[in-house]
Amino acid sequence: MEEAEIPVVEAQLYKGKIIVWDEAQANQLYQRGSYGKPLSGGRLQLAPVETLYLLDGGKIHVLDEDGKKLKFKDLSAKFTEGDPEAMLKYSVYADLRSRGYIIKTGLKFGAHFRVYERGEKPGEAHSKFLVHAVPEGIKFTPTELARAVRLAHSVRKAILWAVVDDDGDITYYALTRERP
């Protein structure tokens, strides 16, 4: 699905979260691109990876609580303080979004992201994949891998490991459950 053109939106870093206060702008982000999580009062909360992606693409401006415009490097540093894997997750998120997928958090499924097929929207269809972003060279125990595969299988999704190398290149590996 080709993402509809979204005019530049204003968001604010407020109490550590990114909020789009304007209801019309919040609706356009959510309806046209499936970005964010709707809040009461017509507001929208953006995830750090969504914020960085939209900021990098020139789709949003982010202001701090004093009204000062924040740059990509400022926000990425702030997000990395709270989550050392923020930029690793961002690189995978941006890669998947650039391929036309809709991505939402996969936290309740034990992964970084849940991914919807091109053309499908959260709430109207079920995600097909869980994606976990990892740096190249990470070591897993067989138990950790089996746990991830079993969890994905139990919710009828495939698990993909997005391995990010030192150059920022991403390779996706799918693991499946085989019964003897």
- Catalytic site residue from 35, 53, 90, 116: 116
Residues 159 and 143: their CA atoms lie apart, in Å, by 15
Q: State yes or no: is 116 an active-site residue.
A: yes
At 177, list the tokens.
């459950």
Residue 113 pairs in a beta bridge with: 105, 131
Residue 173 pairs in a beta bridge with: 161
- Catalytic site residue from 37, 68, 71, 126: 126
Distance from the Cα of residue 53 to its chain's centroid: 9
Q: State yes or no: is 121 an active-site residue.
A: no
Q: State yes or no: is 104 an active-site residue.
A: no
Q: String of b and e for 133-161 (b: at least 16 CB within 10 Å)?
A: bbeeeeeeeeeeeeebbeebeeeebbbbb
At 33, list the tokens.
């691109």
Q: Please, are residues 159 and 118 in contact by the beta-carbon 8 Å criterion?
A: no
Active site residue ranges: 116, 126, 157
